[in-house]
A and B are shown apart, each in its own frame.
Chain A
Amino acid sequence: EAGVAQSPRYKIIEKRQSVAFWCNPISGHATLYWYQQILGQGPKLLIQFQNNGVVDDSQLPKDRFSAERLKGVDSTLKIQPAKLEDSAVYLCASSLDRGGNNEQFFGPGTRLTVL
């Protein structure tokens, strides 16, 4: 079974530029998550989708971050414009269904460096 795919694996941009990350979850998984993991911290949920609808985006900085999952399968996360403090690993995860007791499968992440 293929795992969660993410691209790119690494990205370096200058502040005020824009960037986009892509995630393809495990086939059949209804729930998709985007996490931000700053160095030395645990992952923090940015947004959660159930199929193509947003379940939780309370911690997404909506003035600069946006995400979509138009067909309920793959998803993109965009930052525009980027700030220095956005430097982090962006992790995508998926699970069969919502609920914390549904095992989340994580992708390898995209490491973003903002200069």
Chain B
Amino acid sequence: DQQVKQNSPSLSVQEGRISILNCDYTNSMFDYFLWYKKYPAEGPTFLISISSIKDKNEDGRFTVFLNKSAKHLSLHIVPSQPGDSAVYFCAAVYLSGNTPLVFGKGTRLSVIA
């Protein structure tokens, strides 16, 4: 039973354009969401997060949007750069329950110059 779903295994975007990565979740108890970025042969690195009390969080070129009613979040990267090419993992957690992070399967983003 996958509680965090990333339904697009891969995405290709032209340099300078917007990249939109999507994530859906099923567990309504999740109250904190994170995006991690992973390059080959490296561990994941934290990118951006959002609490369930917000619907948007922005950090430079990266913005995460949360739609609680739809149990959906998205990561927007504007403008996309070749160095953004990586696998992006969505993760969710129930902070009050001290539960572990639950990761999606990841989406491989390729930014084409």
Chain A residues within CB distance 8 Å of chain B: 4, 33, 40-45, 48, 55-56, 91, 93, 98-101, 103-109
Q: Does B32 contact A (CB under 8 A)?
A: yes
Q: Which residues from chain A contact B99 at a C-beta distance below 8 Å?
A: 100
The CA of A30 and the CA of B109, in the complex, are separated in Å by 33
Chain A interface secondary structure, helix, strand, loop or mixed? loop
Do A44 and B49 touch (CB < 8 A)? no
Which listed residue (B41, B42, B89, B93) contacts A43, Cβ 8 A? B89
* Chain A nearest CB, measured from B3 CB (Å): 11
Q: Does B18 contact A (CB under 8 A)?
A: no
CB within 8 Å of A: which of B64-107?
89, 91, 93-95, 98-101, 103-106
Do B100 and A56 touch (CB < 8 A)? yes
**Interchain Cβ contacts under 8 Å between A and B, 25 examples:** A4-B43, A40-B105, A42-B4, A42-B89, A42-B105, A42-B106, A43-B101, A48-B100, A99-B95, A100-B34, A100-B93, A100-B94, A100-B95, A100-B99, A100-B100, A101-B32, A101-B49, A101-B51, A101-B95, A103-B46, A104-B46, A104-B101, A105-B45, A108-B41, A109-B43
The CA of A104 and the CA of B100, in the complex, are separated in Å by 11
